[in-house]
Amino acid sequence: MQAVTREEALELYEDMILGRNFEDMCAQMYYRGKMFGFVHLYNGQEAVSTGFIKQLNQPDCVVSTYRDHVHALSKGVPARAVMAELFGKATGCCRGQGGSMHMFSEPHNLLGGFAFIGEGIPVATGAAFAAKYRHEVLKQSSPDGLDVTLAFFGDGTCNNGQFFECLNMAQLWKLPIIFVVENNLWAIGMSHLRSTSDPEIWKKGPAFGMPGVHVDGMDVLKVREVAKEAIDRARRGEGPTLVECETYRFRGHSLADPDELRRPDEKSHYAARDPITSLKKYIIEQNLASEAELKNIEKKIDDVVEEAVEFADASPLPPRSQLLENVFADPKGFGIGPDGKYRCEDPKFTQGTAQV
């Protein structure tokens, strides 16, 4: 394992505990009828989110998939904003309009939250293109180098066209993007090995001219080391990297998945490699902190997650008048009504129907 300072180790630990506890609370809340629809939990994959995202600065962008709660938390979106969004409340980070699969936060440069696999990758490629454009066309430079974009997606996505199209374009234009594959071996009930002719995803990087790296995604320090190198490369303008993280989700694909296809020995193999347990062990063995300090962090996070639930519970549902807001950035897009006025100028406009 790579050397890490005490402060860094505690930051990593706290972030992973937050991710784990938050997702466990989501499961509870879902079964209590506070959360609805399709909810995809991240338990077991925390090392990837923490290992990568904690290396980023505020201007760097993260693009995720439907398994996005923990990416949002690692990027700094407050737990209460994510929880309220999941409860469908007006105080959610997306005003209750997005839900579990559409977490966005402009101040944190979290560009989604996408329900269809692969559809976030071009968006991430665009964010990286914009970073290069700002530098080369608008002549806006930072001493840190180019702003970096991370695109997270899974093994299933690596058989999808958008993945390949974006690997090509990112390398062609040397965009500051890192393609982070969270290979948890399963796409709902489809095993990676059954759907992929060559299952070694990292190899697809060099096929497009970029480095392809495989890393143990259950080890946050190893992920962090690989992430740092890829991020530095991107900042220097040397282009994209494809990183395949071998990881595992401890729960089913979603809370609706009975998870009957995965074998118990596979599950226990990865449970034994729980990234949080491993880091805790490392911290204790390297004398970076005491058990008591780690327990304090766990208690602190318990409080954060409890508070998030209380906040979400107490928050109001969106009013009917919110229905048509945000459909357009410029509400003139709803057009001109029979009376000659723009519909958005009519005070009764947002009170009524969805038909415009």
Partner 1 sequence: MVSVSSITRCHEVLMFEALREAMIEEMTLDPTVCMIGEDVGDYGGSYKVSKGLSEMFGDLRVLDTPIAENSFTGMGIGAAMKGLRPVVEGMNMGFLLLAYNQISNNCGMLPYTSGGQFKIPIVIRGPGGVGRQLGAEHSQRLESYFQSIPGIQMVACSTPYNAKGLLKAAIRSDNPVVLFEHVLLYNLKEKIPDEEYICCLEEAEMVRPGSQLTILTYSRMRYHVMQAVKTLVNKGYDPEVIDIRSLKPFDLHTIGNSIKKTHRVLIVEECMRTGGIGASLRSAIIDNFWDELDARPVCLSSQDVPTPYAATLEDATVVQPAQIVAAVEEICQ
First-last CA distance in the chain: 59
Smallest distance from partner 1 to CB 66, Å:
12
Do 308 and 18 contact (CB within 8 A), yes or no? no
Question: 3-class SS at 62?
Answer: strand
Which segment (119-127, 197-205, 283-291, 304-312) binds partner 1 by CB under 8 A?
A: 119-127
Smallest distance from partner 1 to CB 298, Å:
32
Among 166, 221, 226, 309, binds partner 1 (CB under 8 A): 166
Which segment (64-72, 115-123, 272-280, 292-300) binds partner 1 by CB under 8 A?
A: 115-123
Question: 3-class SS at 25?
Answer: helix
Smallest distance from partner 1 to CB 301, Å:
26
Question: 3-class SS at 355?
Answer: coil
Q: Does 145 bind partner 1 (CB under 8 A)?
A: no
Size of the site for partner 1 (CB under 8 A): 63
**Cβ-based burial of 143 (10 A; exposed 0-12, middle 13-18, buried ≥19):** exposed
Query: Cα 352 vs. chain centroid, distance in angstroms?
Result: 35
Distances (CA, A) of 124 to 105, 158, 173, 241, 341: 14, 15, 14, 13, 38
Instruction: Tell me how far apart the alpha carbons of residues 14 and 46 are, in angstroms, rounded to a whole number.
Output: 11
Q: Of 164 and 250, which CB lies nearer to partner 1 in the complex structure?
A: 164
Q: Of 8 and 165, which CB lies nearer to partner 1 in the complex structure?
A: 165
Q: Which x/- pattern over 32-71 shows residues binding partner 1 (rule: CB under 8 A)? A: -----------------------------x-x--------
Q: Of 59 and 291, which CB lies nearer to partner 1 in the complex structure?
A: 59
Beta strands at 186-187 and 190-191: parallel, antiparallel or unpaired = antiparallel
Q: Of 3 and 137, which CB lies nearer to partner 1 in the complex structure?
A: 137
Among 64, 162, 183, 241, binds partner 1 (CB under 8 A): 162
Among 198, 292, 329, 348, binds partner 1 (CB under 8 A): 329
Instruction: Tell me how far apart the alpha carbons of residues 246 and 98 are, in angstroms, rounded to a whole number.
Output: 29
Smallest distance from partner 1 to CB 331, Å:
9
Radius of gyration of the chain (CA): 21
Instruction: Tell me how far apart the alpha carbons of residues 7 and 182 are, in angstroms, rounded to a whole number.
Output: 26
Do 173 and 264 contact (CB within 8 A), yes or no? no
How many residues are there in the chain?
A: 356
Joined together, the tokens standing for residue 58 give 């505020």
Among 39, 56, 72, 127, binds partner 1 (CB under 8 A): 127
Which segment (10-18, 20-28, 163-171, 285-293) binds partner 1 by CB under 8 A?
A: 163-171
Task: Give the containing element (helix H, strand E) for 191.
Answer: strand 190-191
Q: Does 305 bind partner 1 (CB under 8 A)?
A: no
Among 133, 203, 310, 319, binds partner 1 (CB under 8 A): 133
Place of tokens 């066209």: 161
CA neighbor of 13 nearest in space, from 269, 225, 295: 295
Smallest distance from partner 1 to CB 237, Å:
13
Among 188, 256, 281, 328, binds partner 1 (CB under 8 A): 328
Smallest distance from partner 1 to CB 122, Å:
2
Among 340, 347, 348, 353, binds partner 1 (CB under 8 A): 340
Tell me: cis bond preceding 333? Omega within 30 of 0 counts.
no
Among 36, 57, 58, 136, binds partner 1 (CB under 8 A): 136
Instruction: Tell me how far apart the alpha carbons of residues 356 and 348 are, in angstroms, rounded to a whole number.
Output: 12
Q: Does 102 bind partner 1 (CB under 8 A)?
A: yes
Q: Which residues bind partner 1 (CB under 8 A)?
A: 61, 63, 92-99, 102, 104-106, 111-116, 119, 121-134, 136-138, 161-162, 165-166, 168-169, 172, 325-330, 332-340, 342-343, 356
